[in-house]
């Protein structure tokens, strides 16, 4: 299958693994890229630009396929050394950057000069248009279903993707709620040129996270995510657990008076404890509604091959069959 995204990034299948804090290590990115998708290392999980340079080099030892790096601009307590991270990306020979969060204008000129393609992840058509206008090569359109930060507009992909298709000139991929061949065909039908997945890639054999995290995703249904930090306008979709329910109780009790300091115990620094140690009640961690569609822990290659085969079957048999007058079962 060829799309504007496979051609732009030089990948075999139009499937991207979105940046994920404490998941997007070299092992994750290499496994996805070796399976023909685009694997993405998460820059800010690396404490310093030198650590990121090292992680890119480790990934290069595991794959000779294209890889990307995610650079997230979110409110953080201490501003990261963004120019340093960008330098590590360019010097590491990485040719695709996924930006996310705030407007990436500050890093675009240097990335463009180095021939790096930039795909900006955004949750609103107006932000996608902004990304297009400042020179991003593509966008990842992240619907309300998504794990992580869905923004504050709450528009699901069934509306957001065709809206993006109507407005954008640059190619885009769907993001949020994508899991299988059905997701891919639906995304393509709505105008996307591929899909980006987060939660689905955590439940794979190669994902470098504790087995408890993978098991929690398989055990979860589509009803088990919650939106936290909405009063701070930093909404995050997470899997429910004891810490999340405690956090939500604080949000209800404090209302508009809620401050970040009130919930610091449930959100700050919890990722290593969850992802590495498997302490599933340590705090709030991003997870999409798509957990309800995840029932197994395949390798990345098994997953991607299965998606592509299912997509082909839907297009060639189910859909083409309907056009030729065959009523599907």
Beta strands 117-122 and 138-142: pairing type? parallel
| Segment 138 to 157, residues that bind ligand FMN, using CB under 6 A | 142, 145-148
Interface with ligand FMN (CB under 6 A), residue from 285, 304, 307, 314: 285
Name 173's bridge partners.
Answer: 140
Decide: is 214 part of the binding site for ligand FMN (CB under 6 A): no
Binding mask 226-255 for ligand FMN (x = CB under 6 A): ------------------------------
Q: Is 100 in the site for ligand FMN (CB under 6 A)?
A: yes
Residue nearest to ligand FMN (CB): 198
Q: Is 225 in the site for ligand FMN (CB under 6 A)?
A: no
For 68-131, the DSSP string reads EEEEEE---SS---HHHHHHHHHHTT--EEEEEES-GGGGHHHHHHTT-EEEEEESSHHHHHHH
CA distance 277 to 33: 26
Decide the pairing of beta strands 225-228 and 236-239: antiparallel
Q: Interface with ligand FMN by CB under 6 A: which range of 1-9, 14-22, 108-116, 313-321?
A: 14-22
Scanning 123-131, 192-200, 226-234, 276-284 for contacts with ligand FMN by CB under 6 A, the matching segment is: 192-200
**Contact residue for ligand FMN among 104, 198, 231, 283 (CB under 6 A):** 198
Q: Measured from the CB of residue 46, what is the shortest distance to ligand FMN in angstroms?
A: 11
* CA pair distance 260, 77, nearest whole angstrom: 10
Query: Which of these ranges, 46-54, 161-169, 176-184, 252-260, lies near ligand FMN under the rule CB under 6 A?
Result: 176-184
Q: How far apart are CA 191 and CA 43, in angstroms?
A: 29
Question: In the complex with ligand FMN, which residue's Cβ is closer, 310 or 318?
Answer: 310
The secondary structure of 121-187 as a DSSP string is EESSHHHHHHHHHHT-SEEEEE-TT-SB---SS---HHHHHHHHHHH-SS-EEEESS--SHHHHHHH
Binding segment toward ligand FMN, per CB under 6 A, in 75-83, 171-179, 225-233, 311-319: 171-179
Q: How many separate helices (H) and strands (E) can be counted in the chain?
A: 15, 10
What is the token pair recorded at 230? 């909405």
As measured in angstroms, the least distance from the Cβ of 21 to ligand FMN is 4
Contact between 176 and ligand FMN per CB under 6 A:
yes
CB of 22 to ligand FMN, least distance (A): 7
- Cα distance between residue 26 and residue 116, in whole Å: 19
Q: Which stretch binds ligand FMN (CB under 6 A): 17-25, 88-96, 154-162, 163-171?
A: 17-25
Nearest to 181, CA basis, from 15, 20, 4, 3: 15
Residue of 119, 248, 290, 303 interacting with ligand FMN (CB under 6 A): 290
239 or 314: whose CB is closer to ligand FMN?
A: 239
Number of Cβ within 10 Å of residue 277's Cβ equals: 11
Based on CB atoms, which residue is closest to ligand FMN, 100 or 270? 100
Kindly state whether residue 183 participates in binding ligand FMN, applying the rule CB under 6 A: no
Query: Looking at beta carbons only, is 292 or 318 nearer to ligand FMN?
Result: 292
Q: Considering only residues 5, 15, 23, 32, which one is a binding residue for ligand FMN as defined by CB under 6 A?
A: 23
Do residues 86 and 71 lie in contact, with contact meaning Cβ atoms separated by under 8 Å? yes
Q: What is the C-alpha separation between 42 and 47, in angstroms, rounded?
A: 11
By the 8 A CB rule, do 140 and 40 touch? no
Q: Could you list the residues that contact ligand FMN (CB under 6 A)? A: 18-21, 23, 42, 70, 72, 100, 121, 142, 145-148, 175-178, 196-200, 285-288, 290
């Amino acid at each position: 299958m060829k799309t504007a995204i496979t051609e732009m990034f030089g990948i075999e299948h139009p499937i991207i693994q979105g940046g994920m804090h404490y998941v997007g290590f070299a092992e994750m990115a290499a496994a996805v890229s070796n399976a023909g998708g685009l694997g993405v290392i998460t820059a800010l999980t690396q404490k310093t630009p030198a650590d990121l340079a090292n992680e890119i080099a480790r990934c290069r030892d595991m794959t000779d396929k294209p890889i990307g790096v995610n650079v997230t601009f979110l409110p953080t307590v201490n501003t990261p050394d963004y120019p340093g991270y960008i330098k590590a990306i360019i010097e590491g020979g990485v040719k695709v950057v996924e930006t996310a969060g705030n407007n990436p204008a500050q890093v675009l000129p240097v990335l463009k000069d180095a021939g790096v393609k930039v795909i900006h992840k955004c949750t609103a058509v107006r932000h996608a248009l902004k990304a297009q206008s400042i020179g991003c090569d593509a966008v990842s359109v992240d619907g309300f279903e998504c794990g992580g930060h869905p923004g504050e507009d709450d528009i699901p992909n069934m509306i957001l993707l065709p809206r993006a298709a109507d407005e954008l000139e640059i190619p885009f991929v769907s993001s949020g709620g994508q899991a299988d061949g059905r997701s891919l065909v639906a995304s393509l039908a709505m105008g996307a040129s591929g899909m980006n997945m987060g939660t689905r890639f955590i439940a794979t054999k190669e994902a470098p996270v504790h087995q408890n995290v993978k098991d929690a995703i398989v055990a979860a249904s589509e009803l088990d995510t919650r939106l936290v930090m909405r009063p701070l306008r930093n909404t995050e979709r997470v899997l429910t657990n004891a810490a999340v329910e405690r956090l939500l109780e604080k949000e209800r009790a404090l209302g508009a008076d809620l401050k970040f300091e009130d919930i610091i115990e449930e959100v700050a620094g919890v990722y290593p404890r969850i992802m590495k140690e498997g302490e599933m009640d340590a705090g709030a961690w991003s997870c999409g509604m798509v957990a309800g569609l995840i029932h197994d822990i395949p390798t990345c290659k098994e997953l991607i091959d299965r998606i592509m085969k299912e997509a082909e079957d839907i297009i060639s048999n189910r859909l083409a069959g309907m056009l030729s007058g065959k009523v599907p079962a």
